Structure 1
Amino acid sequence: MTEAATRRSMTTQQRRGIVVLSMAAVAAILLVVTAVAGGYRINLTPSEPLGLWRIVPLYRPLAIDDLVFICPPETAEMVKARARGYLRSGSCPGGVAPLIKTVIAVAGQHVEIGASVNVDGREVSSSSLAQRDGKGRPLTPFPSGIVPPGYVFLLSAFPGSYDSRYFGPVPASGILGLAQEVLTYAP
């Protein structure tokens, strides 16, 4: 084989490799876009089991104990949470990822924050408060009060969760839908 033929042969092999890699990249991008459009999300935070989740449309009124995906509002608390690394990057306003939390109180209910959370005088299980985050920085609990109209109070049973215990009630309008586990792993 001549040197020119060898160069042409390698060029043909290189072209085939580029075509195969390009097709694989396009397929991967299409898969991700289709998954996101279908409401699928990957949870990488310990607040709920790690893995693949789906946002399921909510065709009924919101209820206590609903596990939901919600876009947090763009408030000073959320800006601070983003700066501290509590919120991941994502598609919600402010460039953060949707949160997965459980609704524990709705408009009109009284939430009292002490060593744990009480709603209408009943203690909520797994709701103790942390004084500091994982890096030793102080956490300020939200003051007690009535959940205003159009708002919800959210919680995760994970002890290190950043939720309404610290940022208060959030607009129910930010709820994307119910959170449904698809393929998860709880360590």
Structure 2
Amino acid sequence: MTNEARRKGRRGALFILSLAGLVIGGIAAAGTFGRYRINTTASFPLGLWRIEALPREVRVGDTLFICPPADAPAIKLARERLYLPAGLCDGGMAPLIKTVVALPGQTITVEGDQVAIDGELLAHSIIQAKDGQGRTLTAHAGGVVPADALFVHSDYVASFDSRYFGPIPVGGVLGLAREVFTFQP
């Protein structure tokens, strides 16, 4: 191979690496400034999501991006077990995408292996005794959702949600979760 061919090969490789760097930088900037997030968990469809401002009070049925409290024991355990990916929330974890199923003052009970809210069974809320690696999971004991907290859920059977960590502070709400480009695996 001639020196000229080597130089052209290096320039081509440098161009491709530079282009890849620009694309990655652009995605990171869009995530930081455009409030976009990529969901890689099975709790909600995989793909690109946007955090939209929430100009009103949170309601049952809202799907939100919410940061869990980093100091909660169940959240610490979830980080140790790698249930939660890294991200922008306190403790270095990614915000959760969850649907609000109960508001302050509502009563959460565990009936058998399923969650009930104000006496009504919550669909898709079976509590798993073990995670995918056979480790014990501890369910939330239930009780009244405190002021300034939300009980959040995902229909995905293996979702790590309030069934396990309990109500989550409303102060962690980043905004509504809106699908941009998603797909079901």
TM-score by length of 2: 0.90
Partner AA of 2:86 in structure 1? S
Q: Which of 139, 155, 167 is residue 169 of structure 1 equivalent to?
A: 167
Of 60, 63, 67, which residue of structure 2 is paired with 1:67? Answer: 63
Deviates more, 1:146-155 or 1:25-34: 25-34
Aligned to 1:77: 74
TM-score (structure 1 length as normaliser): 0.89
Inter-partner Cα distance in structure 1 for 2:39 and 2:87: 11
Q: Give unpaired runs (5+ residues) of structure 1.
A: 1-5
Q: CA deviation at 1:51?
A: 1.1
The equivalent of 1:157 in structure 2 is: 155
Secondary structure of the 2:76 match is: helix
> Deviation of residue 15 (structure 1)?
5.9
The equivalent residue for 1:28 is 23
* More divergent stretch after superposition (149-158 vs 135-144): 135-144
* 1:72 alignment partner AA: P
Distance change (3 Å), C-alpha of 1:15 and 1:138: closer
| 2-structure distance, mates of 1:158, 1:14 | 48
Deviation at 1:138, TM superposition (A): 1.3
Tell me: CA distance 1:25–1:60, structure 2 relative to 1, closer, same or farther (3 Å): same
Amino acid at match of 1:23: S
Shift of 1:29: 3.3
Q: Give the structure 1 partner of residue 53 of structure 2.
A: 57
Q: CA RMSD in A?
A: 1.8
- Per-residue deviation, residues 52-99 of structure 1 (Å, max 9, x unmatched): 111111111100010111111112211111111211111111111111
Name the amino acid aligned to 1:161. Answer: S
Aligned residues: 182
**Aligned pairs for 1:77-116 within 5 A:** 77-114=74-111, 115-116=113-114
Could you say which residue in structure 2 is the equivalent of 1:138?
Answer: 136
CA distance in 2, matches of 1:153, 1:141: 13
Q: 1:23 to 1:85 in 2, by over 3 A?
A: closer
Q: Name the amino acid aligned to 1:157.
A: D
Deviation at 1:30, TM superposition (A): 3.2
Gaps of 5+ in 2: none
- CA offset digits 1:34-65 (Å, max 9, x no partner): 32021111111111111111111111110001
Q: Which amino acid aligns with 1:141?
A: A
Please say which structure displays the higher CA radius of gyration: 1
Q: Distance in 1 between matches of 2:161 and 2:110?
A: 13
